[in-house]
Amino acid sequence: KRHKVCFLGSGAWACAAAKLASENTSRLDTFETTIEMWVYEETYEGRPLTEAINETHVNPKYLPGVSLGGNVHAEPDLETAVKGSDLVVFCVPHEFALGLCNKLEGLLDKDAAVISLTKGMRIRPEGPQLISEMLRKKLGRDCSVLMGANIASEIGQGQLSEATIGYARADNGKIFRDLFQTPSFIVTLVPDVEGAEMAGTLKNIVAVGAGFSDGLGYGSNTKAAIIRQGLSEIKELSTRMFPSVRPETFLESCGVADLVASCYGGRNRKVAETFAKERGERTMEELADDLLGGQRLQGALTAEEVYSVLEVKGWVADFPLFSTVHGIIVGQLPVESITSFMGSG
């Protein structure tokens, strides 16, 4: 039996990942050639976005200039998109993940395996929940994650990149590696879903801090200190929340590599840099609307979510960088305080 692939989401990262997958489904006998991509329908230059994608094989709004492959079909109806698919790639902004997950209940093939490319967590009264855990519990399917130093525009250009798949079931991890790995996109496997996902989620907060540093005109030494402290807090919070997390996971692409790439490129750093240059005259959300062309900003929301966890747990003082980034975003601290963590110990 050939595996049928469906992508849920059509943002820049989803499109870059779909480009990789389309290359492999076109050449490997283990996959059906056509990939269905569920697209939240919207109007682009006077016509439906799905129509534009299917005619040009490019998503002109979120990843212009990059061909997804002629075998990627954009579909606005969720049930039609997932019908018969046994490999489901979940890649929507994390604030929309719960709503989409609720709509998926009862629609997936009973043998379907899911992989999440979404970075973020869901905050609930009973405690935080990673997106992969939400998908596993709500959909009743195994869920792996793919995380790493994956700036979409660079992957779309075919530049060398790496990623990490965190898996609970090795067979599913291997088939998803076959789906995504290409000569320019190297995938490693780790039996650590939580570690890979936490690293991918928390690095967005650090990237915001790095952007603040850039906007203030600070140099490489300061940014290196932010990255070092960020990695330390990522490891500490991950292991406190999930004691099963493996320390070596943070040396994979999903850990230190993703952190470094995000602190030198990517949307979170870009928006935070402008925020610092303007000294907070506009909010992060307002800047994102102006700078990102419809893409979502994850770092500010993740900082808020993580800070709520730190408050409930009484851990605020233990995570000075995360707490400082949150304070700057919400206007409680001046942006110049981004280096205050250095004297916190």
Residue pair 194/166 in contact by the 8 Å Cβ criterion: yes
DSSP state of 336: G
Residue among 4, 119, 203, 270 flagged as catalytic: 203
Separation in Å, CA 163 to CA 120, 135, 188, 252? 17, 21, 7, 8
- The b-or-e profile of 82-93 (16+ CB within 10 A means b, else e) is beebbbbbbbbb
Note the helical H segments in the chain.
12-27, 49-56, 78-82, 97-104, 131-139, 152-156, 170-180, 193-215, 220-241, 258-264, 267-277, 284-291, 299-313, 320-329
Catalytic site includes residue 203: yes
Which string of DSSP letters, residue by residue, matches 180-206? Answer: H-BTTEEEEEES-HHHHHHHHHHHHHH
Q: Do β-strands 31-38 and 3-8 pair in parallel, antiparallel, or remain unpaired? A: parallel
Closest by Cα among 308, 299, 315, 293 to 258: 299
Positions marked active-site: 203
